[in-house]
Structure 1
């Protein structure tokens, strides 16, 4: 099953620490609420200033900068399209490297969920193979064509119960592939 998640349908909500807002793309399990009873959540946020990250005990996080130069997190630079993984318990202070950024991240309960995040480029056609779980293709640049769906930058496709998927890239496309499965 393939579900198109358009950017216009993302749910805007405050950060847990109240310092900004995020656009929730998807959450699990179905019917879960954040931050009360979720197992995982994928979201995108604009970071406009130097602020601490919210803490999420029992969770791990993966983060990629999708727009802007990057962030310095506890003295370590995270540049655009690099993936960083860190613990939800870790005290993280973010400093903008050069102006505001937009990030894409997944927060997941480490004892229940396994998650992967990769940034990939697509110039023509590619076949992706999946094993169990849910998979999300977030279009960063260009456009993607997936089973008759045209996916624009900022939109996402959720894939469930498919083992193979053909993906076509238009206009030098790049995307983030996020895979979520229960342990």
Structure 2
């Protein structure tokens, strides 16, 4: 088993494909991949400061969650609209679809999983941690993003602060996740094969 932790400070800041803002790239496969070279999968977090179009990613599946703020309405043209105003509830859509965001209030922060379905399979779930929970390492890569609060991983002698990402490759069995004091701890778990 190999594992790494990445803090927001260590994430790569990149311009949006459409030039409308910047995103923090938390992890990408293959390592060092860019929007121009393509990727199998990519995790990022971005501040959506103004209403406007989303970048197009043909052939890519996208899953988006609201982390902070009032949220926004996504308009997918002929594919309908969806309101992303509830924290940590995923919305999945095709990167082929035209998408525009209309803010419901001030700036928001989102979490974005993008994956090429021809190269990998992804599963995303949100876990709200009131007590210690076992995390199954049942995929080639398991990613844990601390969306709210602090999470301890005793087997790795590791604490994940809010916004930190744990990546485990080639693991087997499981790991305990222990929420910090104060309640409200939540993680986004992504499994990739």
**Number of aligned pairs?**
181
Q: 1:4-83, aligned counterparts within 5 Å?
A: 4-74=5-75, 75-79=81-85, 80-83=87-90
1:85–1:35 distance in 2 versus 1, CA, 3 Å: farther
**Residues of 2 paired with 1:35 and 1:117: CA distance?**
25
The SS at the match of 1:113 is: coil
**Residues of 2 paired with 1:52 and 1:179: CA distance?**
29
TM-score by length of 2: 0.90
The SS at the match of 2:150 is: strand
Q: Which runs of 5+ in 1 are unaligned?
A: none
Runs of 4+ in structure 1 off by over 3 angstroms are none
Q: 1:47-126, aligned counterparts within 5 Å?
A: 47-74=48-75, 75-79=81-85, 80-126=87-133
Number of the residue aligned with 1:153: 162
Which structure's residues are more often strand, by fraction? Answer: 1
**Residues of 2 paired with 1:71 and 1:81: CA distance?**
13
Q: Which runs of 5+ in 2 are unaligned?
A: 76-80
Root-mean-square deviation over aligned CA pairs: 1.2
Cα drift, residue 130 of structure 1: 2.3
